[in-house]
Amino acid sequence: MPANWPASDGTTVQKIERLVGAAVGGLAFAGGLVILLSMALLTVIDVMLRQFGMGIPGSWELVTFAMRWMIGLSLPYAFWTGRHVAVEAFVEMLPKRTQLVFILFGEILAAGVMGLLAWRLWVRASQILDHGTRTSDLGILVFYNWLPLILGCALSCLVLLVLILRSGRLLYRRGDTEKGMRP
């Protein structure tokens, strides 16, 4: 849960938000650090071995495969922490409640796009699996290259649904509408 958000009203909601935050944080850590370091190490070793006339067969395939996992695992975290690209110059001048309406609209739109992408990526990946296409160097099913993208979009959609519920609750909450607003 982003640090500048107020605590939730219900304990069940708090548990769900903590679980989502921990899950996407863990996935981003795995994608951002572990996979990135593995890619860097593989690349460095491959370049060094090439100086001696050797190399790691399929290193390019492994690095691109790892890059897909890094992106797929990190995408939900970007939504959860609000660290994606946003143009806020106009919205920042609006009242807090109106800002939240814009945020909620953006979250709904983003959830729809992520859901659509997850679905269409799955359809395409299924077609590729049916054809049995494999990579040229290592012979890995190309289908596996699509899984991190599907997973990233599907998890982003779930994260956005939690954010939509939170924003909706803040928007329609009774009492002080200015206190505890996210923007």
Locate the domains of the chain by residue range: 11-172
Query: How buried is residue 173: exposed, middle or buried, by Cβ count under 10 Å (0-12/13-18/19+)?
Result: middle
| Token reading at 21 | 């935050």
Q: Which residues pair with 134 in a beta bridge?
A: 141
pLDDT at 175: 45
pLDDT at 10: 59
Q: Splitting the chain (183 residues) into consecutive groups of 10 residues, what average pLDDT does each group show?
A: 50 83 89 89 94 91 92 91 79 86 93 97 96 92 93 95 90 58 47
| Token reading at 101 | 């309406």
Cα dist. 13→42, 78, 160 in Å?
42, 21, 15
DSSP secondary structure of 13-62: HHHHHHHHHHHHHHHHHIIIIIHHHHHHHHHHHHHHHHTTT---TTHHHH
pLDDT at 56: 92
CA neighbor of 115 nearest in space, from 163, 157, 80, 74: 157
Q: Which residues pair with 141 in a beta bridge?
A: 134
pLDDT at 93: 86
pLDDT at 9: 53
pTM: 0.81
In angstroms, the CA 177 to CA 170 distance is 8
pLDDT at 4: 47
pLDDT at 30: 83
In angstroms, the CA 78 to CA 138 distance is 32
Contact 100, 183 (CB under 8 A): yes
